[in-house]
C-alpha cells in the first residue's frame, strides 16, 4: 500500500506548484498523475466470483485531501490584517465494475461544480474563496482495451465567470465494463469564517451500497492545522505519521467491505463502522474573537464551550418573573409543590421558545409544527434560574440513539441537554425538543442512553463550575407509549363496505407525529399561551421587529383551512389502512395534549373502507384483522439478523374493535382470534367475544424494550408473526 500513498502525495504536491497553469493544463497533468502509475488496487480487473451477481463492484476507491495555508498580507479599507489563505485539495478516485443496467445508469453521468468563485471584494482588497473541479474517466472493456473519455465533451449547465456547472455523459460505457474515474477539487479560501471544525467535518462510513475491494483514505495537513478524528463502531484508527516537511498524515486502508444492508429498526451511526475527520486553522483569532464554537471538537471541548456560554450569556429573569406572577407572587410560588411549580416553569420556557416566530417561519408555515429546540442553549437560562431559585438540579448531556454516541461527539450539535431536578426518588425532567413535549417527558431518542451529569456551581454571575458524574437516562415503559384505538364497525346496507368510527388515544412518544400532523400551529400556540397565561400571539408578533410587518400573514397561515384539516385526517387514515377511505367524516381533535396535565392526545374520525368484506354465497367474510391497520411482516430474508435492534421506543398498541352483526347472521371463526404469545421482548394477545349482536375483538401488541440484542431477534419475530397472523384473520357472517 505504499505505492498509492506515494502517488497521492505526488498529486497533492503537484497542485501546490501548479497555480499558474491554465485549467486545461492542470486537468491534463492531474490525469497523468492519477492514471499513469496506478497501484495494484487501481489496476485490478477481476472481481471475486462471490460478487458476480452484484449490480456493481467497487474494485478500489480512494479519497485524498491536503490542507495547506499561507499568510498573505491584506489591505482592507480601514484596517490592515494578515489573511490566512487555506488551500484544500481533494481527489475522489473510484474504479467500478458495471454489472447491470441500474449501475450503468447510475455511473453514466457525471455532474460537478467546475468552478465557483465566492470571493468577496472590499474595494481594493479581495477575500479569495474559489472552488475548482477537475474530472477524468476511462473505460476498461472486457478485452482489456482502455478508452479515455474526452472530458471536453462535458456541457456546462451554468456558465458564468464565477459559476460553472459541468455535466458529462460517459460515452461508450456498457454493462460489463470497468469505469475508472476521479473528481479532483481545489478550494482556496481566505475567509476564516468558513474554516471551522464544523465546516470541515467529513464522515466516511466504511460500508457501501456496493461491495468494495479496497478503500483508502489519506489526509495531509500542514503544521498550522488542528486535526480531530473519530473512529467509531469498530472502524480502524487512522495511521498518523509525519513527513519531512512536518506535515501530519492521517491514512487508512480497508479491504473487502461487503455491501451494507438496510435493516428495519437499526441505528446506522451506532452500528456501521465510520471514521470522522475534521480540521481547522490553529489561528486563535476566530476562536477568540469571532466564533468560540468554531474550534471545538470532541466532547470535552464542547463541554467547555457549553460552560463558556453558561458564563457569558446575560441572564434573562423574565421566566422567573412570569413564574411568580403565575402563582400570584413569591408566597404562592413557595406554597406550590415542586412538581407543580416546575411544570409551570417548564411551560414558560416552552412558550418562550415555541411561541416565538421569525421570518423563516413566515416563509414556510407548514414547518412550524416541526420546529425543534436547540436544547444545549435552551437549558442555560433554565439551569441558571434554577440555581438562583436554589433548586438542586443537574444538566444531563446525552447523544441521540439515532445518531453518534456520546463518546463520538464532534460538534456542539452532536449531543443534547436535559435538566434533571432533584425530587426525592421521583426526579423531574425538562427536555426541550418539540412544541408538544411534556414536562417530565424525555424524548425517545435519548431514553436508555448513558449521559454525562453536570452539576453547576455558581461562583459568581460569570463563573460557573461544572462538576461531573455519570447517569443513565430512564426508559419509558411500553404502556407509557400507548396507542389505544376503539372502533365501532358496521356494514353498509349493501354489505359491501365497512363504516368505521374511530376514537384514537395516544400517549408518550407515539403521539408526537400525530400531533404535529393533525393540530394547527395556531392550536399549539394557543395551548402554549394558555398554559402560562402568556401574551396573545398578536401582541408577541408586534413586539418582534423581524416579523411584525408579517403579522396578518403569520396569523392567517398558522390556522389550518377546513380543507387542510380534512386532507391531514385523510392522510392519517390512508397510513393506517393502506387504502384511501371512500368517505371521511366527523374528524376532529378531542384533546390536543400540549401539556402534561391532560397528556393523552385524542382524536376521532369516521371512515368508510372498501374491499374488506367478501360475499360467499349467502354469507359474508370480514377481514377483521385488517381493521387494526397493517402490522409488521417479517420477511424470509429478514429472519436472520446479526445487528442489534434499535426500536424507536418500548410501546403498546391496543385495538378494541366492536362489530355490529346484522340481524339474521351468525358469527363463525371467533375462536381463531383467541391467541397469545408472550416472551421477554414483547407480547401479542387477542380475543373475541360476542355479546348480543356486537362482536368485540381486542388485540394488544407490545414491545417491551427500546433495544434488544440481535440474539433475541427470533423472540421479536415470534411476537411480530403472531400479530401478522392476526392481521390476516377473518370472521364469517353465516346466514341463518
The residue (of 131 and 167) whose beta carbon lies closer to other proteins is: 167
Give just the sign of the alpha carbon dihedral 346, 347, 352, 353: positive
The residue (of 125 and 732) whose beta carbon lies closer to other proteins is: 732
Q: How far is the CB of 487 from other proteins (least distance, A)?
A: 21
- What one-character-per-residue DSSP string does 576-604 give? HHSS--SEEEEEEEEE---STTS--EEEE
C-alpha distances in angstroms, 360 versus 274, 305, 519, 549, 563?
A: 34, 27, 20, 14, 24
Q: How far is the CB of 262 from other proteins (least distance, A)?
A: 12
Q: How far is the CB of 175 from other proteins (least distance, A)?
A: 9
The residue (of 53 and 79) whose beta carbon lies closer to other proteins is: 53
The residue (of 255 and 359) whose beta carbon lies closer to other proteins is: 359
Give just the sign of the alpha carbon dihedral 312, 318, 322, 328: positive
From the number of C-beta atoms within 10 Å of its C-beta (0-12, 13-18, 19+), residue 673 rates as buried
Q: 212-221 and 56-75: which strand pairing? A: parallel
The residue (of 81 and 258) whose beta carbon lies closer to other proteins is: 258
Q: How far is the CB of 550 from other proteins (least distance, A)?
A: 6
**Contact by Cβ (8 Å): 429, 420:** yes
Q: How far is the CB of 149 from other proteins (least distance, A)?
A: 10
The residue (of 173 and 398) whose beta carbon lies closer to other proteins is: 173
The residue (of 291 and 672) whose beta carbon lies closer to other proteins is: 672
The residue (of 311 and 579) whose beta carbon lies closer to other proteins is: 579
- Provide the Cα torsion 7, 194, 125, 224; round to 10°: -50
Give just the sign of the alpha carbon dihedral 409, 415, 421, 427: negative
Cα–Cα nearest to 18, from 3, 33, 36, 37: 33
Q: How far is the CB of 484 from other proteins (least distance, A)?
A: 25
Q: How far is the CB of 116 from other proteins (least distance, A)?
A: 14
C-alpha cell read off for 253: 486502508
SS (H, E, C) 97-149: EECCHHHHHHHCEEEEEEEEECCEEECCEEECEEEEEEEEEEEECCCCCEEEC
The residue (of 19 and 549) whose beta carbon lies closer to other proteins is: 549
Q: How far is the CB of 513 from other proteins (least distance, A)?
A: 24
From the number of C-beta atoms within 10 Å of its C-beta (0-12, 13-18, 19+), residue 724 rates as middle
The residue (of 59 and 593) whose beta carbon lies closer to other proteins is: 59
C-alpha cell read off for 31: 490525469
Cross-sheet strand order for the sheet of 583-591: 583-591, 601-609, 498-506, 482-491, 651-660, 694-703, 682-691, 675-679
Q: How far is the CB of 198 from other proteins (least distance, A)?
A: 28
Cα–Cα nearest to 290, from 194, 406, 424, 378: 194
CA distance 67 to 220: 6
Q: How far is the CB of 623 from other proteins (least distance, A)?
A: 10
Q: How far is the CB of 104 from other proteins (least distance, A)?
A: 7
**Contact by Cβ (8 Å): 675, 722:** yes
Chain residues that interact with other proteins, rule: CB under 8 A: 53-55, 99-105, 108-109, 155, 157-158, 165, 167, 169, 171-174, 362-363, 496, 549-550, 552-554, 556-557, 561, 563, 579, 610-611, 613-619, 621, 633, 637, 668-669, 724, 728, 730, 732, 734
C-alpha cell read off for 93: 478516485
The residue (of 59 and 104) whose beta carbon lies closer to other proteins is: 104
Amino acid at each position: 500500500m505504499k505505492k498509492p500513498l506515494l502517488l497521492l502525495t505526488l498529486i497533492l504536491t503537484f497542485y501546490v506548484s501548479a497555480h499558474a497553469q491554465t485549467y486545461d493544463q492542470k486537468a491534463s497533468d492531474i490525469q497523468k498523475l492519477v492514471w499513469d502509475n496506478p497501484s495494484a488496487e487501481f489496476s485490478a480487473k477481476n472481481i471475486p466470483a462471490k460478487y458476480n451477481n452484484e449490480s456493481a463492484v467497487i474494485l478500489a476507491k480512494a479519497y485524498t485531501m491536503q490542507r495547506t495555508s499561507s499568510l498573505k498580507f491584506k489591505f482592507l479599507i480601514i484596517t490592515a490584517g494578515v489573511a490566512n489563505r487555506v488551500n484544500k485539495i481533494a481527489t475522489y478516485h473510484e474504479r467500478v465494475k458495471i454489472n447491470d443496467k441500474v449501475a450503468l445508469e447510475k455511473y453514466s453521468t457525471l455532474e460537478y461544480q467546475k468552478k465557483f468563485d465566492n470571493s468577496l471584494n472590499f474595494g481594493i482588497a479581495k477575500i479569495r474563496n474559489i472552488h475548482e473541479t477537475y474530472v477524468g474517466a476511462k473505460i476498461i472493456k472486457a478485452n482489456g482495451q482502455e478508452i479515455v473519455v474526452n472530458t471536453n465533451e462535458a456541457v456546462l449547465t451554468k456558465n458564468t465567470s464565477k459559476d460553472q456547472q459541468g455535466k458529462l455523459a460517459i460515452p461508450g460505457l456498457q454493462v460489463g465494463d470497468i469505469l475508472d474515474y476521479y473528481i479532483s477539487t481545489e478550494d482556496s479560501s481566505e475567509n476564516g469564517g468558513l474554516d471551522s471544525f464544523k465546516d470541515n467535518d467529513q464522515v466516511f462510513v466504511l460500508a457501501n451500497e456496493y461491495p468494495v475491494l479496497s478503500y483508502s483514505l489519506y489526509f495531509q495537513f500542514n503544521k498550522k492545522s488542528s486535526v480531530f478524528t473519530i473512529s467509531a463502531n469498530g472502524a480502524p484508527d487512522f495511521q498518523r505519521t509525519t513527513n519531512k516537511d512536518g506535515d501530519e498524515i492521517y491514512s487508512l486502508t480497508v479491504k473487502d467491505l461487503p455491501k451494507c444492508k438496510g435493516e428495519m429498526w437499526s441505528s446506522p451511526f451506532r452500528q456501521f463502522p465510520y471514521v470522522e475527520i475534521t480540521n481547522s486553522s490553529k489561528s486563535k483569532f476566530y476562536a477568540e474573537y469571532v466564533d468560540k464554537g468554531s474550534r471545538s471538537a470532541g466532547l470535552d471541548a464542547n463541554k467547555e464551550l457549553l460552560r463558556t456560554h453558561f458564563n457569558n450569556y446575560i441572564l434573562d429573569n423574565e421566566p422567573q418573573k412570569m413564574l411568580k406572577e403565575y402563582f400570584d407572587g413569591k408566597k404562592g410560588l413557595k406554597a406550590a409543590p415542586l412538581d407543580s411549580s416546575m411544570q409551570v416553569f417548564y411551560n414558560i420556557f416552552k412558550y418562550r421558545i415555541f411561541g416565538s416566530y421569525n421570518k423563516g417561519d413566515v416563509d414556510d408555515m407548514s414547518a412550524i409544527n416541526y420546529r425543534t429546540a436547540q436544547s444545549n442553549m435552551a437549558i442555560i437560562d433554565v439551569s441558571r434560574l434554577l440555581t438562583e431559585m436554589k433548586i438542586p438540579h443537574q444538566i444531563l448531556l446525552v447523544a441521540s440513539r439515532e445518531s453518534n454516541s456520546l463518546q463520538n461527539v464532534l460538534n456542539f450539535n452532536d449531543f443534547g441537554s436535559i435538566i434533571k431536578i432533584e425530587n426525592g426518588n421521583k426526579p423531574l425532567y425538562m427536555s426541550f425538543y418539540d412544541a408538544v413535549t411534556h414536562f417530565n417527558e424525555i424524548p425517545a431518542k435519548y431514553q436508555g442512553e448513558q449521559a454525562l451529569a453536570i452539576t453547576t456551581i455558581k461562583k459568581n454571575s460569570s463563573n460557573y463550575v461544572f462538576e461531573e458524574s455519570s447517569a443513565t437516562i430512564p426508559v419509558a415503559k411500553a404502556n407509557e407509549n400507548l396507542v389505544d384505538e376503539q372502533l365501532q364497525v358496521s356494514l353498509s346496507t349493501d354489505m359491501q363496505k365497512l363504516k368505521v368510527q374511530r376514537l384514537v388515544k395516544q400517549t408518550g412518544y407515539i403521539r408526537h407525529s400525530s400531533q404535529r400532523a393533525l393540530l394547527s400551529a395556531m392550536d399549539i400556540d394557543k395551548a402554549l399561551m394558555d398554559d402560562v397565561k402568556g401574551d396573545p400571539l398578536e401582541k408577541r408578533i408586534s413586539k418582534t421587529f423581524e416579523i411584525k410587518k408579517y403579522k396578518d400573514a403569520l396569523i392567517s397561515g398558522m390556522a389550518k383551512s377546513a380543507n387542510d384539516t380534512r386532507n391531514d385526517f385523510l392522510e392519517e387514515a390512508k397510513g393506517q389502512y393502506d387504502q384511501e377511505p371512500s368517505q371521511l367524516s366527523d374528524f376532529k381533535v378531542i384533546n390536543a395534549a400540549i401539556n402534561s396535565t391532560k397528556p393523552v392526545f385524542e382524536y376521532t374520525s369516521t371512515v368508510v373502507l372498501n374491499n374488506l368484506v367478501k360475499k360467499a354465497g349467502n354469507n359474508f367474510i370480514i377481514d377483521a384483522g385488517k381493521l387494526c391497520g397493517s402490522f409488521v411482516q417479517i420477511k424470509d430474508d429478514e429472519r436472520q439478523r446479526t445487528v442489534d435492534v434499535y426500536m424507536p421506543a418500548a410501546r403498546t398498541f391496543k385495538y378494541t374493535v366492536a362489530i355490529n352483526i346484522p340481524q339474521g347472521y351468525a358469527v363463525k371463526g371467533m375462536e381463531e382470534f383467541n391467541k397469545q404469545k408472550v416472551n421477554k421482548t414483547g407480547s401479542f394477545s387477542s380475543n373475541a367475544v360476542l355479546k348480543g349482536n356486537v362482536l368485540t375483538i381486542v388485540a394488544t401488541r407490545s414491545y417491551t424494550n427500546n433495544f434488544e440484542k440481535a440474539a433475541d431477534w427470533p423472540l421479536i419475530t415470534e411476537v411480530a408473526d403472531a400479530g401478522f397472523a392476526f392481521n390476516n384473520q377473518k370472521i364469517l357472517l353465516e346466514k341463518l
